[in-house]
Amino acid sequence: MKKNRQGGKACKDVTQPLTVGQVAKRSGVAVSALHFYEQKGLIKSWRNQGNQRRYHRDVLRRIAVIKSAQQVGVPLAEIANALSSLPDNRAPNSGDWARMSQAWLQDLNHRIETLTKLRDNLSSCIGCGCLSLQNCRLRNPGDSLSEQGSGARLIDPD
Ligand code: FES
């Protein structure tokens, strides 16, 4: 093992690209997931002369953004769209994260509101089971079918 001038372990060259195994180990993401992210356009690699994938080091920060966004339910397509607005080969910085997460916050709040309404409606259905088009807010939320006229609306006329 090489030693640096202070006698400690030598640092690895931080300018060197990473292999897929190194990215997987350092990010905690399976190689198959990395390939999936790449297929979806979330991360990028290139092939070296030996036809092996190589990644710029900024990929680790991009993966951290992807995993964090996924935890709050942001769809991969939206994450890919947000990451595509960043310059290539630059790690997302705190300003980038603030901008992306602010946009996702509104969507998250909307989903929480929708799920809260669904939960409340489900609470009134527990133990009922009628699934009535007239009375059940889960079956016919907001009585939207009444706007289509009276009578059965979900039955195909043929
Ligand atoms: S199942 Fe009866 S009100 Fe929803």
- pTM confidence score: 0.70
For the cut 50, the answer to whether the pLDDT of residue 22 exceeds it is: yes
Q: Give the number of the atom of ligand 1 that is nearest the alpha carbon of residue 129.
A: 1
Mutation probe of ligand 1 site: the residue of 135, 140, 143 with most atoms within 8 A of C-beta? 135
Task: Give the pLDDT confidence score for residue 88 in this predicted structure.
Answer: 81
Pocket of ligand 1 (CB under 6 A): 124-125, 128-132, 135-136, 138
Q: Rounded CA gap, 31 and 25, in Å?
A: 9
CA 59 to the chain's CA centroid: 16
Compare 10 and 29 and report the one with higher pLDDT: 29
Q: Give the number of the atom of ligand 1 that is nearest the alpha carbon of residue 132.
A: 2
Calculate mean pLDDT across residues 41-63.
Answer: 94
1 confidence band (pLDDT: 50, 70, 90): very low
% pLDDT > 90, the chain: 54
For the cut 80, the answer to whether the pLDDT of residue 71 exceeds it is: yes
Q: Rounded CA gap, 119 and 115, in Å?
A: 6
Q: Rounded CA gap, 110 and 99, in Å?
A: 18
In a 3-state reduction of DSSP, which class is residue 39? helix
Mutation probe of ligand 1 site: the residue of 128, 140, 143 with most atoms within 8 A of C-beta? 128
Residue 111 CA to ligand 1 centre (angstroms): 23
Q: Rounded CA gap, 8 and 129, in Å?
A: 69
